[in-house]
Amino acid sequence: MDDNTIEIHDDEINVEEIMAKIRENIRRRQAAGELPLDPDSVIESPSKNCPAGESDEAIGRDLSNINANWDIHNNSYFISSHHPCIGTVLVKGRQLVHGEVRRYVDPMIFRQTRFNSSVVRLLNHTSQNCAELEHNISHQNEELTQKISQQDEVLTQKISQQDEVLTQKISQQDEVLTQKISQQDEVLTQKISQQDEVLTQKISQWEDVLTQKISHQNENLNTNIQNCVDSNFREVFSHLDKDIRLQMGLTQLLEERMQKGLAQRSTPSESTATPNDTNYFLFEERFRGSREDIKQRQLAFLPYFEKCSRVLDIGSGRGEFLEILKDHGIGGIGVDIDPDMVTYCRSRHLEVEHSDALTYLETLEDKSLDGIFIDQVVEHLEPDYLIRLIALCHQKMKFGYHIVIETVNPLSFVSFANFYIDLTHKRPIHPETLQYLISAVGFRECEKKFFSPVSDAGRLKKIEMTVDMHETERKNVDVYNHNIEMLNSILFGAQDYAVVGKK
């Protein structure tokens, strides 16, 4: 009896025994290669961890196994019975059952067999192509190895030949260069020896000459230094003597004015004293500021008088602007009604006339001035006098030159509050008024400029925004800061302003 045949006895049917026989039959057929292995018992391909040779052998065995077992039809199976009486009937019945089962199973087996045959054909074709490709690659490698070996030998021979040629040429050139260097070395040695003797002689001669000249120059230098020192000392002492005399004169003048003021205060006529009896020089030193501060501020007006030759400073005071003009090579003359100011300016070698402004302007020729500067003066004047002064300035100036008038800014409360510290101040002049008066007499391109702002420390403080503020708080802070800015501009605006006009 065939091992693939399963016998079933009619007198005793044991299902467990039949299933055990079926399992045993499947194991035998799997071991014989007739059935595929159980998926649960498949072992991972050793090609993942095996060397290349062992992996190729395993792939060959797998390919042989696939070619041998791609057809999964079981044509060796047949049904039989050992029952003597009804065996034939049982076999027929079983065949009928077996036929009905195959009606459902055979289509699947047929499709699986066709799929297996297709896969096997593709694997065989791929395996054949891989073998051919491997053979071609091996053949190409051998050819390339041979060609590389041949080229290597040729290149080695060529390199060896070129190396010998270059070695010979280098040796020849080395000998030639050695000879030339030796010849040049002898020639240079001779020339250096000759030049050394000549230079030694010349150096000796020049040394004697220089020694004589240095000795002579030392004598002349000592004489010149002594003369220069004596001259400089005399000049310095002369200037110091002049300065001391000027300072003594000013000191005496100031002392006389102070004594005169004290004497007038001690007499019954004290109530008749006028502001002109005060020492305005000392007043400016205390309330207006130092001369250096005023000069630094007045430097802003210098560009309007560049390339001028005759600039008039009306109310020149202590002469700060006249000194600026002089330092920059610009001709300037001052006029002031205060004799102490005039004396002080002349002591500093500044050209200043002691006169009333209108009187002095009337003595000048028309169009004789190329610039006029009036600083902190107009607030001391009556309206009629101011209007007449501006008209005369326009009359005496040349065409195309500037007039600059600076005064106190009444738009700033802090400036207006300090206005009457000076008893000689008449009234502040509004910027618009002064600009109109200048343009009315014929000046053009009139513009206002504001100076001397109050420092931030003396202004009202704003509120700073913070991250945690709500929208309403931010709006309120914006309104508050806007109001503070308006108040600062009114209360603590620029303390001075200037109106600039061009004829």
Confirm if 311 and 320 have CB atoms less than 8 A apart. Answer: no
Distance of alpha carbon 294 from alpha carbon 313, whole angstroms = 14
Residue 169, H or E segment: helix 87-266
* 105-149 residue pLDDT tens: 778 878 888 888 888 888 888 888 888 888 888 888 888 888 888
> Does the pLDDT at position 44 exceed 60?
no
Residues 240-255 have a mean pLDDT of 58
For the cut 60, the answer to whether the pLDDT of residue 163 exceeds it is yes
First to last CA, the chain: 143
What pLDDT was estimated at residue 48? Answer: 46
Contact by Cβ (8 Å): 291, 318: yes
Quickly name the fold that domain 289-502 has.
Answer: Rossmann fold (3.40.50)
Q: Tell whether the torsion through CA atoms of 299, 304, 306 and 311 is positive or negative.
A: negative
Higher pLDDT, 18 or 189: 189
What letter represents residue 425's amino acid?
A: H
Which candidate, 456, 460, 453, places its Cα nearest to that of 480?
460
pLDDT at 180 over 60: yes
> Could you give the CA distance from residue 314 to residue 338 in angstroms, rounded to a whole number?
12
Q: Strand 402-408 vs strand 496-502: parallel, antiparallel, or unpaired?
A: antiparallel
Least confidently predicted of 34-48, 210-224, 255-269:
34-48
pLDDT-derived band at 374 (thresholds 50, 70, 90) equals very high
- Whether residue 171 is predicted with pLDDT greater than 50 in this model: the reply is yes
Question: Would you say residue 9 has pLDDT above 70?
Answer: no
Give the residue extent of every domain in the chain: 15-146, 289-502
The arithmetic mean of pLDDT across residues 36-43, rounded, is 46
- With a cut of 90, say whether residue 396 has pLDDT above it: yes
Highest mean pLDDT among 81-85, 100-104, 480-484: 480-484
Q: pLDDT band for position 39 (50/70/90)? A: very low
Is-contact 447 499, C-beta < 8 A?
yes
- In the predicted model, what is the mean pLDDT of residues 283-304? 79
Mean pLDDT of the 142-161 span: 88
Q: How high is the pLDDT of residue 57?
A: 77
Q: Give the three-state DSSP class for 335.
A: strand
Cβ atoms of 417 and 490 within 8 Å: the answer is: no
Work out the average pLDDT over 82-99. Answer: 75
For residues 398 and 500, is the Cβ–Cβ distance under 8 A? no
Distance CA 219, CA 26 (A): 136
| Alpha carbon distance 309, 489 (integer Å) | 39
Task: Identify the bridge partners of residue 447 per DSSP, sorted by sequence position.
Answer: 500
pLDDT at residue 225, rounded to an integer: 76
- Is residue 261 within 8 Å of residue 279, measured between CB atoms? yes
Q: What is the pLDDT of residue 361?
A: 95
List the structure tokens of 206: 């020049």
CA atoms of 335 and 354, how far apart (whole Å): 6
Report residue 67 as tokens.
Answer: 């070619």
Coil vs helix vs strand at 497: strand
Residue range 324-340: mean pLDDT, rounded: 93
Lowest mean pLDDT segment, chosen from 70-79, 305-314, 448-457 = 70-79
Q: What is the pLDDT at residue 357?
A: 94
Lowest pLDDT segment from 31-40, 262-271, 339-348, 408-417: 262-271
CB 67 within 8 A of CB 128: no
C-alpha pair distances (Å), 317 with each of 19, 75, 339, 377, 415: 136, 139, 10, 10, 21
Give 273's pLDDT tier (boundaries 50, 70, 90).
very low
pLDDT band at residue 78 under the 50/70/90 scheme: low
Question: Binning pLDDT at 50, 70 and 90, where does residue 404 land?
Answer: very high
| Alpha carbon distance 8, 95 (integer Å) | 13
Predicted TM-score (pTM) of this structure: 0.45
**DSSP state letter for 184:** H
Work out the mean pLDDT of the chain and round it to a whole number: 78
Cβ(441)–Cβ(502) below 8 Å: no
Does residue 317 come out as left (phi exceeding 0), alpha (psi in the -120 to 50 range) or beta?
left
The predicted structure's pLDDT at residue 192:
87
Long-range contacts of 147-151 (CB under 8 A, 24+ apart): none
Planar angle of CA 126, 131, 133, nearest 5 degrees: 90
